[in-house]
């Protein structure tokens, strides 16, 4: 295949990030031969069941470069061909465990075809052909992985939701003063939202399991500490933290971050980002880690 990483830059130093979306359907099974049937079941749950289960994967490839004389970073037909030849044609309607040698767990260096492991291997297969800056792979709408080319370190995001009511008001202020700050949100009887929460963790992939941490444990942790605690509550009155803290989207996101940071660290990963979407128009993001790690969009 022709290497299409280079493009003539006639954009006077202007660069641009472009993305290309591709889809494929595939199945996978979480099963390690060194574990017994019971041990595989205990570690991977229903994902260990034979012959496996399937997903409709969505792949987002981000590329960076200068503009050429045609006003393009790359020829999108060539980008499409590279992704199809190196990735989707090899994975579509297949059992991932039987596709690429990296997933041959009969060998000591093989790992399970998790979303985290898959996004890293896709990067390695495309990096010779495309000027990659990031790859995102959705296993399902509520679970996806990101890879930015940093060795085996990957980002994994799970999405959950809860319904809750709140009132935005400071107790020391009058109703009129609160209305001047918070608008309709200061009305005495409060109002509700269906909150969406994205929890992004960062970590190195286990070379055998292909996981940053145990996904089932992560989901259980989030359900116990966040969903069960916040769902169908009036935040101001039912959550002790918000008795003295105005439950804005920003403060809720910060509180969720505080609740999850250490428990996620105990799982062997780092909490990278909390994104709380209050409505289609409003969202807040919190990055618990050092600023030097940057922002993952």
Tokens 């034979």 appear where? 50
Catalytically annotated residues: 185, 232, 278
- Which pairs from 142-146 meet CB under 8 Å and 24+ separation? 143/115, 143/215, 144/115, 145/115, 145/116, 145/118, 145/119, 146/119, 146/200, 146/296
Closest CA relative to residue 165, chosen from 142, 188, 198, 199: 188
Distance set, CA 140 to CA 4, 136, 259, 284 (Å): 30, 12, 26, 23
User: Half-sphere exposure (CA, 13 Å, Cβ side) for 245?
Assistant: 15
- Which pairs from 45-49 meet CB under 8 Å and 24+ separation? 45/216
Q: Are 216 and 195 in contact (CB under 8 A)?
A: no
Output DSSP code: residue 8: -
């Amino acid at each position: 295949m022709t290497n299409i990483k280079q493009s003539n830059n006639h954009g006077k130093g202007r660069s641009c990030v472009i993305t290309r979306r591709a889809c494929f359907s595939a199945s996978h099974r979480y099963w390690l031969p060194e574990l017994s049937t019971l041990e595989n079941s205990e570690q991977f749950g229903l994902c260990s069941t034979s012959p496996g289960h399937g997903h409709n994967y969505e792949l987002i490839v981000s590329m960076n470069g200068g503009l050429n004389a045609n006003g393009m970073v790359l020829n999108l037909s060539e980008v499409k061909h590279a992704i199809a030849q190196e990735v989707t044609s090899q994975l579509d309607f297949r059992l991932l465990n039987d596709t690429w040698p990296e997933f041959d767990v009969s060998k000591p260096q093989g790992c399970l075809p998790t979303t985290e492991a898959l996004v890293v291997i896709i990067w390695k297969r495309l990096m010779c052909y495309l000027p990659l800056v990031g790859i995102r792979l959705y296993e399902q709408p509520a679970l996806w992985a990101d890879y930015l080319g940093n060795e085996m370190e990957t980002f994994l995001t799970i999405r959950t939701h809860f319904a809750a009511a709140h009132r935005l008001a400071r107790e020391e202020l009058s109703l009129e003063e609160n209305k001047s700050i918070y608008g309709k949100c200061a009305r005495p009887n409060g109002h509700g939202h269906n909150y969406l929460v994205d929890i992004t963790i960062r970590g190195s992939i286990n070379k055998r399991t292909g996981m940053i941490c145990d996904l089932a444990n992560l989901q259980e942790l989030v359900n116990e500490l966040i969903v069960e605690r916040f769902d169908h509550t009036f935040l101001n009155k039912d959550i002790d933290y918000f008795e003295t803290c105005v439950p804005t989207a920003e403060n809720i996101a910060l509180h969720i971050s505080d609740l999850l940071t250490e428990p996620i660290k105990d799982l062997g990963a780092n909490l990278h980002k909390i994104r709380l979407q209050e409505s289609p128009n409003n969202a807040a993001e919190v990055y618990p880690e050092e600023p030097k790690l940057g922002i993952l969009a």
